[in-house]
Structure formats: C-alpha cells, structure tokens
Amino acid sequence: MGKVHVFDHPLIQHKLTFIRKADTGTKEFRELVNELATLMAFEITRDLPTQEITIQTPVCEAKSRILAGKKLGIVPILRAGIGMVDGIIDLIPAAKVGHVGLFRDPETLKPVEYFVKLPSDVSEREFIVVDPMLATGGTAVEAINSMKKRGAVNIKFMCLVAAPEGVEVLTKAHPDVDVYIAALDEKLDEHGYIVPGLGDAGDRLFGTK
C-alpha cells in the first residue's frame, strides 16, 4: 500500500490557512499555491540520491555532494495542477513537465482523458503528479492510469488539500504510489467539494467563476 504523508511544517500550515480564506484574491492565492508547491517539493525530494564529487573551493580541494542525476518529471492534472508547476520548477529546474487533462463524461460521470503529453523517456523518470485538490480521487486514479498505460512506473502524487474518501480511493487503486498532502480535511460535501477545503481551486487560481 502506498504511504500517505501529511506535511505539518509550520510554514506549510500557515500558507494553507491563507489559501483557505474566502477573501484571499487571485494574485495572492496563485503566489501562495506556488510557494506551497515549493515547500512540499523540498520535502518530497528529501530521498533523492546524491553522489560525491571533488571540487575546488577558494581555500582548498574538497569532496562535496551533488544530485546523482535522477530524471524527474512533473505532471500537473489540468487545469488546477498548472498552478503548482512553477513552484516546483523553481527548486528542480531540470525537471520535465508533462500534462494530463481529463473531463467528466456527463453520462457515466467517469473521468475520460482528452489530453496526455509526457516526456518521451517516460519509463526512466520519477514523476510527481500534482493537483491542488484530492476530492473523490477519480481524476487522480485515471490520470495515473493514463501515465502507467504509457509506461510510467515511478509515480508520486502531491496535493494541497485531500478528503479522506479520495485518499482511500487513490491508495487502493494505486498502492505503489505514495501520496503527499499538506492538509487532510474532514470530508466531501454532496457537491463533491472538500470540507472545509478552499472552494474551486481552478477558479481561484485563474480568476474564473
């Protein structure tokens, strides 16, 4: 079963409070989502392998460590996931960015893919799939299905706010995928919104309504 990590770092909790507030405007919301994505990426990359190299400092020759060249990929689920990409790229500029877009079939109510573009060396990359909200889990499960169908084998899922229902659905469907969350909320309401949540993440990021 995939591990579920809830980040309780004070900076993450602080910024999360401000994106929850209904009177936080689009500009501040967008900035905070990116800052949260940076902080979470910092935690998620804690286990990246490093290698020792020899360098010359102004004082002497020294042994020091650099990343061991693991290939990373960030995959935002359209559209709200896009709001987290820049914050991660700030920290990991060499990461490639794929995209997965899904819509809900009005008859079956199931998510159906309409756009998938991943780096060509998909099986060699470690992917971080990002979406600010993990609500029912249906979209996250289908996005990861789409990636696995194309050869992705090493996937982590990162979101800001999750409902327990979504965490259960995702970890059951993809037990190999670790899930990273800034806040695990109470529940879903009858419209599929996370409670207390932050409303519609896409609308708040892009100023639509």
Give the H or E element holding residue 48.
none
Which residues share a beta bridge with 159?
181
> Is residue 206 close enough to count as binding ligand URA by CB under 6 A?
no
The Cα 123–Cα 125 span in angstroms is 6
> Is residue 201 close enough to count as binding ligand URA by CB under 6 A?
yes
From candidates 133, 152, 177, 181, binder to ligand URA by CB under 6 A: 133
Nearest approach in angstroms of CB 117 to ligand URA is 22
CA 88-93-97 angle, 5° bins: 65
> Is residue 102 close enough to count as binding ligand URA by CB under 6 A?
no
Nearest approach in angstroms of CB 49 to ligand URA is 34
From candidates 124, 165, 178, 200, binder to ligand URA by CB under 6 A: 200
Which of these segments, 5-13, 22-30, 50-58, 195-203, binds ligand URA (CB under 6 A)?
Answer: 195-203
> In sequence order, what DSSP letters do the residues of 136-176 get, joined into one string?
SSHHHHHHHHHHHHTT--EEEEEEEEE-HHHHHHHHHH-TT
Q: For 63-128, what is the HEC assignment? A: EEEEECCCCEEEEEECCHHHHHHHHHHHHCCCCEECEEEEEECCCCCCEEEEEEECCCCHHHCEEE
Q: Which is nearer to ligand URA, 100 or 135 (CB)?
A: 135
Nearest approach in angstroms of CB 133 to ligand URA is 4
Which of these segments, 4-12, 35-43, 60-68, 187-195, binds ligand URA (CB under 6 A)?
Answer: 187-195
Query: What values do phi and psi take at 7, rounded to 5?
Result: -85, 125
> Is residue 42 close enough to count as binding ligand URA by CB under 6 A?
no
Q: Which is nearer to ligand URA, 28 or 186 (CB)?
A: 186
Interface residues with ligand URA (CB under 6 A) are 80, 133, 135, 192-194, 197, 200-202
